[in-house]
Amino acid sequence: MAVFFAMCLAFPALAGDPLVGSTTGLPLPRFVSLKSDRVNLREGPSKDHRAKWIYEKAGLPVEITAEFETWRRIRDSEGAEGWVLHNLLSGRRTGIVAPWGGDKPVPLRVKPDATSPLAAQMMPNVVASIKSCNGEWCRLIGEGFDGFIQQQQLWGVYPDEKVE
């Protein structure tokens, strides 16, 4: 019991308090997207650290898990983690359609209802802009499509999260 209490003091989220970034005061973790089509993922929070990976897709959703001055620790949909400069990130919300889905298409509906007509069939790993989410359905927009997908079929938004 004493160990759990000590952990709650060290990690407020364990005690039920929401975790916030030390620099921004914004919730942690949180989803954002890459602003640039060339973003270095570094081993640590400085340019002196080695680049582990280079992202080459602007708009890719990532999850911020920590903050240190102008650096943000991020995680991508495949679980890779590292540090990027905050000015390479955008608050614009995007999502990846069922990256765990193999090659099975995911229905995009005209309305947020499983019986609504199909607007399109979305292939896994497609990146789309999230217009809104109500906790069950998200409205996705992109080049040539606009419709609703079940929120659980999207990486880049939390279960039950509402996005406006």
Mark the ranges of the chain whose per-residue pLDDT is less than 50.
1-15
Q: Which two tokens stand for residue 55?
A: 């992202």
Q: What is the pLDDT of residue 123?
A: 95
**C-beta separation of 15 from 64 below 8 A:** no
Question: Could you tell me the domains of the chain?
Answer: 29-92 (2.30.30.40), 95-163 (2.30.30.40)
Describe the chain by its helix, strand, coil percentages, rounded to 5: 10, 45, 45
Site of tokens 């997207």: 33
CA terminus-to-terminus distance, the chain: 41
